[in-house]
Amino acid sequence: MKKTETATPALVKAKKKRNLAPYLLLLPPVLLVLIFMVYPIGYVFRLSFYDYNPVMPWLNGFKGFGNFVAIITGSEFWQAMLVSLKWVFWEVILQFTLGLIIALLLNQKFKARGFFRALIFIPWAMSGVLTAVLWNLIYNQNIGILNDLLMKVGLIETGKAWISNPSTALPSLILAELWRGVPFFAISLLAAMQSIPTELYEAGKIDGANRWQSLIHITVPQLKETIVLTTLLRTVNEFNSVDLIYSLTGGGPVGRTTTVSILLANQATKSTNYGYGSAMSVICFIILAIFAVIYLKITRFGKEEN
């Protein structure tokens, strides 16, 4: 007994070192979260059980599950949820597909590659205020460039009300957000492609794989981790995104573009209906958390890292 202990002091020490290091490495972020995030998140959860609106003090007080019941039994929330689902689904799918294509293109070696990389990056760097104003000018029925171009080409005869017509409002918003969101995927995927060992492609070539096959069998599996993460994060981002929808349609016409986040912004920011808004955030939180767990399970994220 004693013998073994003395025989391996170095090993024990090494083991201890190993065990402590990750905790030390994680200390700064954990501290940040403990100091700055625990109270705010707890506050939101607590408030969700209250009626709290500072300008209507006569209504304030503990409400139990009242807010949740009101939200879940009302039709407004579920209508908005449907819009949110459409919005998130199309955004993530389209942004990812286009982003992957761009990343593949820009991963090739050719002249002017740097120029195109910087160009693709621009929509993302553009300030949110200008993006909104810009797309407003583009889609404008009377003075918009889109209508003017389409009329010149002869595709339409009179100007269309892109963001006001109930059938084109959501697709038009999706296109604008797509423009802004593509660089995120393009750049993440491009960066991740840099760590795919070139030998893999060489080996594939020797086995007679064509471009398509090497994309499916080498690139995509090697990018899997990045793909899973970026799509998950984008899902959350798009679910919570409000600014473009807010300034282009304000959620109209008649709720066609009212996502859950627009409802939330109306309740918690524009009106000071904090209790109700918090309850809605908590519901969104739960939905997103469930989605994330299922998504990570299905994609077997992080499983083959060892």
Q: What is the DSSP string of 40-78?
A: HHHHHHHHTTEE--TT-GGG-EE-TTHHHHHHHHSHHHH
**C-alpha of 173 from chain center:** 16
CA distances 237 to 39, 222, 240, Å, are 22, 24, 5
| C-alpha span between 127 and 164 (Å, rounded) | 24
From the list 68, 148, 214, 218, which residue makes contact with other proteins (rule: CB under 8 A)? 148
Q: Rule CB under 8 A: is residue 39 a binding residue for other proteins?
A: yes
From the list 100, 163, 170, 283, which residue makes contact with other proteins (rule: CB under 8 A)? 163
| C-alpha span between 78 and 65 (Å, rounded) | 18
Q: Rule CB under 8 A: is residue 299 a binding residue for other proteins?
A: no
Q: Return the number of the residue (73 or 108) whose C-beta is nearest other proteins.
A: 108
From the list 2, 3, 17, 303, which residue makes contact with other proteins (rule: CB under 8 A)? 17
Q: Return the number of the residue (217 or 292) whose C-beta is nearest other proteins.
A: 292
| C-alpha span between 236 and 230 (Å, rounded) | 10
Q: Rule CB under 8 A: is residue 137 a binding residue for other proteins?
A: yes
- Which among 3-11, 64-72, 80-88, 159-167 is the span making contact with other proteins, rule CB under 8 A? 159-167
Sites for other proteins among residues 171-210 (CB under 8 A): 179, 182, 184, 187-188, 190-199
From the list 12, 118, 203, 220, which residue makes contact with other proteins (rule: CB under 8 A)? 118
Q: Return the number of the residue (7 or 290) whose C-beta is nearest other proteins.
A: 290
Q: Rule CB under 8 A: is residue 43 a binding residue for other proteins?
A: yes
Per-residue exposure over 169-195, b if at least 16 CB sit within 10 Å of its own CB, e if not = bbebbbbbbbbbbbbbbbbbbbebbee
From the list 57, 64, 154, 208, which residue makes contact with other proteins (rule: CB under 8 A)? 57
Sites for other proteins among residues 203-242 (CB under 8 A): 211, 225-226, 229-230, 233, 236, 240, 242
| C-alpha span between 273 and 265 (Å, rounded) | 10
Rounded to 10°, the helix 220-240/75-106 angle is: 140
* CA-closest candidate to residue 251, choices 72, 71, 73, 79: 79
Q: Rule CB under 8 A: is residue 283 a binding residue for other proteins?
A: no
Q: Rule CB under 8 A: is residue 56 a binding residue for other proteins?
A: yes
